[in-house]
Homo-oligomer: A and B are copies of this chain.
Amino acid sequence: MVMVEMGGGRLIVIGGNSGLNAALGVRKRNQNMEIHVFRADDYGKYSTCGIPFVLAGIIKDMEELRMDPEGFYEENDIKLHSSERVIRIDDDASSIETESGAVYDYDNLIIATGRMPFIPPIEGLELDGVSAISSYRDALKIQKMMQTAKSAVIIGAGAIGMEVGSAFAEGGIKTSIVEALPSIFPQTLDTDMALIVQKYMEKIVGLKIYTSSIVKAIKGSDRVECVLLGNGESIPSDLVIISTGVRPNTKLAVDSGIEVSITGAIATNSGMQVKKGRSYLDNVYAMGDCVEVINGVTNRPMILALASTAALQARVITENILGGSAILEPCVGPAAAVVSGMQVGSVGITSNGAAATGMKCIHGYGKALSRSFYYPGACEMHMKLLFTLDGRIIGAQIISWEDVKERTNMICMAIKNGAHLDELLSYERCYTPPLSMLTDAFTLALEDARGNMRKNV
């Protein structure tokens, strides 16, 4: 990186999690700018994605997740304002006001206020033993409760709920997961693929999974004793985790007149600048779990609360603050989760998601081994690919015990390129017995889709 002498000015970042990536990006290329980061809480930046693996005992200590160790802010010349909640942005004056009444001017501002857990209105939320799982504090509390818990219910079977369920079950806690929708991983997997994961989690890991089931109440006196389902069934439980998703934390934006869209998240332009009234503000950016992005398949706004999306947004904002003109492309949300060793990848749209927007698509399935049939350690890989009616790839779901993530990334690239299935079939692919089959799940899924496309025509 060529370091050019740059002007100073002051950058204020509201939120000390993903926003810190942008702060660091700016600092890396500009030594003169004054950078302030405001946190509403008083703990550091932790990798929240790592929490389920601490609960699983795979990572020994929560402190290993710490991203801002002792000396971090000094080394990077960032002024951290801990436990200092920002309550107002005055974009006319280019200043912010904090809870304590202090006012700070800014030259550039980044809003990275993150998310809040979505807590459905259920009777009994106040009981001891009931917790959301969103923050460092939640994690510490759950870790402690796990030491004595014999049974647990997790409400919500998204990636976090499933990862925590896996951690509990492997820790010897009798664990049930209750999901209101018809299948687990409802945002990222179709029912057919979700059933592969469900079967494994039930038969091998020992989770009990209730789909299409709602929680009517959490029962107990002081401490939780059981979870009552809509069908009348009662699940005894010492511990209840609410993992029913997150919502963008937009109070500050709303209070400051910054536009929040119908998705409930802050709307930005592709340069990540926020909107007020009829115009985008030149020097106010927003990023992370509090903003919406454009879905690269449907072209509609959506919320994609992924650390990887925030990292791209940080890159765009850094570039733009430093005088560039970067944009965030529409997103297709490649994501992977690991539950009891099983890797679940997804990108683009699901059949369910397509149907919801009235999109018609063709799919293809492939099932093969992850290595040559004769190579030790080969395991099953399941792949579902989705295409537009004319054969452009728009989605993938991949399940195996290895090799899932980079396949998901590759298909992400293919979706962004509008790749046709015939083009995908024509690509060369590495073959070596310890790492692949000559004809693998991807090729089989492409061939299956081609057959389905011919039938469709």
Contact = CB atoms under 8 A, between A and B. Distances in A.
Contacts of A436: 336, 405
Contact of A426 (B53, B312, B334): B312
Contact of A412 (B1, B407, B427, B433): B427
A404 B332 contact: no
A403 B404 CA distance: 9
A435 interface: yes
Interface in A352-387: 372, 374-376
Contacts of A435: 336, 338, 343, 404-405
A378 to B, nearest CB: 11
Contacts of A454: 1-2
A388 to B, nearest CB: 19
Interface in A395-444: 403-410, 412-414, 416-417, 419, 425-436, 438-439
Given A58-B375, A404-B435, A427 B451 contact: no
Contacts of A311: 431, 438-439
A64 interface: yes
B50 A372 contact: yes
Interface string A331-343: 1111111100001
Contacts of A429: 308, 334, 409, 412
A403 B300 CA distance: 33
A405 B53 CA distance: 26
A59 B374 contact: yes
A429 to B, nearest CB: 5
Given A413-B414, A428-B312, A451 B2 contact: yes
Of A53, A336, A438, the most chain B CB neighbours within 10 A belong to: A438
Contacts of A282: none
A254 interface: no
Interface string A46-57: 010110010000
A203 interface: no
B430 A413 contact: no
Given A312-B428, A331-B428, A49 B307 contact: no
Interface of A: 1-2, 47, 49-50, 53, 58-59, 64-65, 306-309, 311-312, 315, 329, 331-338, 343, 345, 347, 372, 374-376, 403-410, 412-414, 416-417, 419, 425-436, 438-439, 447, 451, 454-455
27 contacts: A1-B447, A2-B451, A2-B454, A2-B455, A47-B374, A49-B372, A49-B432, A49-B433, A59-B374, A59-B376, A306-B428, A307-B438, A311-B431, A315-B425, A329-B426, A334-B429, A336-B432, A345-B430, A405-B406, A405-B435, A408-B430, A409-B429, A412-B427, A412-B428, A412-B430, A413-B414, A413-B419
